[in-house]
């Protein structure tokens, strides 16, 4: 299992090139999150990939070859932090919800909506923690879940930023 961060041009078809690479070469994606960055010409992806190490190194090479991909970083090889956000909908009372949140540690939870007999809870934690927590929920009352996929970033000097443009003459 590896966490990979990708910085990619915000161009037509760029995301499908990255995702397509995985289906084309038979690699398995466990989760994927994508959003623009502070530079609107770039998008940032975090992927969780379930493959052996030799396959991961192939994946990194193939990702680097995708022309819209500006930078790739294997977060699993550097010191990094990562977390995941989930929203769950449960058929419980607010009181029960509060109890669940108290017991959720180390996952951090918060009630974000309460309508009719349904409560929505926002959860933040590492993806294992979120996994474990969701498993612990009472099946009958647990109605719906959506997860952000893992978000990650290298610590300290481990930046994922685009290198300066190279000028190519031919």
Partner 1 sequence: MKKESGGSALIRALADENVELLFGYPGGAALHIYDAIYQQDKVQHILVRHEQAAVHAADGYARATGKVGTVLVTSGPGATNAITGIATAYMDSIPLVVISGQVASHLIGTDAFQETDMMGISRPIVKHSFLIQSPEEIPEVVKKAFIIAKTGKPGPVVIDVPKDMTDPNHLFDYQYPKDIKMRSYSVPSEVEESNIDEAVSLLEKAKKPVLYAGGGIIQGNASEELKKLAKIMNAPVTNTLMGLGAFPATHENFIGMLGMHGTYEANMAMHEADLIFALGSRFDDRTTNNPQKYSLNAKKIHLDCDYGSIEKIINVDVSLNGDAKKILKQILNKINTKNIDKASIDIWNKEILNWRETHGLNHDLLDKKFHQKQILPQQVIQSLYKSTNGKAFITSDVGQHQMFAAQYYKFDEPRKWINSGGLGTMGFGLPSAMGVKFAFPDEDVVCVTGEGSIQMCIQELSTCMQYGLPVKIINLNNRALGMVKQWQDMQYGGRYSSILYEDSLPDFVKLAESYGHVGMKVEDISELEERMDECISMKDKLVFMDVYVDPDEHVYPMLEAGGNMSEMRVSKTKKTF
Binding site residues, partner 1, CB under 8 A = 8-9, 12-13, 16-17, 20, 24, 54, 57-58, 61-62, 64-65, 67-70, 162-170
| Nearest-approach distance from CB 5 to partner 1, in angstroms | 15
Structure tokens, 152: 């990650």
Residue 135 vs residues 81, 129, 140, 145, 148: alpha-carbon distances, Å: 23, 10, 12, 12, 17
| Nearest-approach distance from CB 122 to partner 1, in angstroms | 35
- Residue number with CB closer to partner 1 (52 or 165): 165
What's the half-sphere exposure (Cβ side, CA atoms, 13 Å) at 128?
2
- Residue number with CB closer to partner 1 (24 or 103): 24
| Nearest-approach distance from CB 164 to partner 1, in angstroms | 7
Name 110's bridge partners. 122
- Residue number with CB closer to partner 1 (17 or 89): 17
| Nearest-approach distance from CB 158 to partner 1, in angstroms | 19
Q: What are phi and psi of 23, to 5 degrees?
A: -70, -40
Assign 18 to helix, strand or coil.
Answer: helix
């Amino acid at each position: 299992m590896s966490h990979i961060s990708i910085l990619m041009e915000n161009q037509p078809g760029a995301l499908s090139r990255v995702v397509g690479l995985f289906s084309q070469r038979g690699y398995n994606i466990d989760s994927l999150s994508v959003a623009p960055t502070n530079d609107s010409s770039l998008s940032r992806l975090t992927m969780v990939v379930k493959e052996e190490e030799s396959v991961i190194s192939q994946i990194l090479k193939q990702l680097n070859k995708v022309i819209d991909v500006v930078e790739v970083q294997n977060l699993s090889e550097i010191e990094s932090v990562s977390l995941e956000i989930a929203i769950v909908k449960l058929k419980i009372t607010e009181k029960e919800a509060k109890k669940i949140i108290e017991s959720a540690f180390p996952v951090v939870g918060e009630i974000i909506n309460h309508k009719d007999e349904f409560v929505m809870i926002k959860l933040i934690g590492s993806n294992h923690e979120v996994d474990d927590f969701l498993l612990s929920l009472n099946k009958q009352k647990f109605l719906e879940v959506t997860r952000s996929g893992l978000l990650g970033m290298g610590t300290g000097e481990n930046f994922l930023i685009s290198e300066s443009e190279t000028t190519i003459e031919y």
